[in-house]
Amino acid sequence: MDLFKDVDLSDVTVKDCGRGHIQIKGALTVNYYPESKKRTAYVCGMVGSAKRVTPKKAVAMANEPPISNGFKSPRLKNYKGAKTKLLSKGAFCHWCKKPLTRATATLDHVIPLSRGGLNNDNNYVLACEPCNSERGNSMPEVVNN
C-alpha cells in the first residue's frame, strides 16, 4: 500500500477491508480510516478514537499499550454466560496455555477496564487465576512485543 510506504510494517499485518477501512493487526487490532474527514483510528475493544492519525501513528497504536483515559466501563454482575461461551471454544489460559476447568477459569479483559477497555465479548479471554492476578492492569504482551 502506498499509504504505508515510509512505515516499518515488520511487526504488523495490514489488511484493506475496503470502503476506506484498513485493519492493522499487531499486539492489538487497530481500525484505521485514513480517507475519512477526521482520519480516525481506534483500538478494538476500547472506548474512543484518535483523530488526525498518520499511518505511522496507526501502526504504533497496534504495538503500544493504551494509557488510562480516566473512563472505566462498569463491570458486569454476571459473567457466567461469557465464561460458558469461551469455555465452549477452548478451555485453555489465554496467556500460559494451561488447561482450565469451569472452577479454575477466570474471565480476563485483554485491554483492562482501567485502561479504557470495554466490558464486552470482544475484550474477554479465559485466564488461570495466577496469570489474571499477575497481569493486573498491565499489558506485558504489548510492551514485550
Q: What is the CATH number of the domain that holds 91?
A: 1.10.30.50
Higher pLDDT: 54 or 139? It is: 54
The count of domains in the chain is 2
Integer-rounded Cα Rg, in Å, for the chain is 17
- The mean pLDDT of 105-115, rounded to a whole number, is 86
- Specify if 38 maps to a domain: yes
Range of the structural domain that residue 106 is part of = 80-137
Do 46 and 95 lie in one domain? The reply is no
Does 78 score more than 70 pLDDT? no
Strands (E), the chain: 13-18, 21-25, 29-33, 40-43, 105-109, 124-128
Do 127 and 88 lie in one domain? The reply is yes
Do 56 and 90 lie in one domain? The reply is no
CA distance 55 to 38: 13
- Identify the band that residue 23 occupies on the pLDDT scale cut at 50, 70 and 90: very high
Do 91 and 132 lie in one domain? The reply is yes
Which pLDDT belongs to residue 73?
Answer: 59
